[in-house]
Every structure is written in structure tokens, then in C-alpha cells.
Amino acid sequence: MEKKEQIASQIEKLAEKYKDSGQDLSSYLDGLLYQRYLTYWDYIHLDTLLSLQVPRTYFPDEEIFIMY
């Protein structure tokens, strides 16, 4: 399947999905055009999490690491 055909098929499916729920697909597509890409680090507010660290000793391994 060509890329254009695949995209057209996906848009048709999305249009049907939003039509069934009484919502406007065009509004959602406009939102995709204008929204800022959200990285994982922005989502978890990494700067805030790191600023909350208050080491109690001078041992370097006391720092908190974010694991995912």
C-alpha cells in the first residue's frame, strides 16, 4: 500500500471515529498542527524533580536518579 493510500485510510478511520462520538475531526487535526511536541522530560518536569533533591551527606551516590 502506498504511503498516501495508507494515510487516506487512516484519516477515513479517524473521521468515522470522531463522527460516531459527535466530535469534529478537523478541530483535532488543527490542534495537531499547533501543539508543541512534548518530550518525556518535559512531561515529568525533570527540572522540578531535580530541584527537589536535598542530599544529606557528601557521598556522591546519594543523589536520586530517575529510572524508567
Considering only residues 66 and 35, tell me which one the structure prediction assigns the higher pLDDT: 35
Domain of residue 13 covers 3-62
Q: What is the mean pLDDT of residues 57-63?
A: 76
What is the predicted pLDDT for the residue at 68? 43
13 found inside a domain: yes
What is the predicted pLDDT for the residue at 64? 61
**14-48 pLDDT tens trace:** 999 999 999 999 998 998 899 888 999 899 998 88
The rounded Cα 2 to chain-centroid distance in angstroms is: 27
Rounded Cα–Cα distance for residues 17 and 41 (Å): 31
pTM of the model: 0.50
pLDDT of 66 > 80? The answer is: no
15 found inside a domain: yes
Cβ atoms of 19 and 25 closer than 8 Å: yes
The rounded Cα 28 to chain-centroid distance in angstroms is: 15
Number of domains in the chain: 1
Rounded Cα–Cα distance for residues 39 and 61 (Å): 27
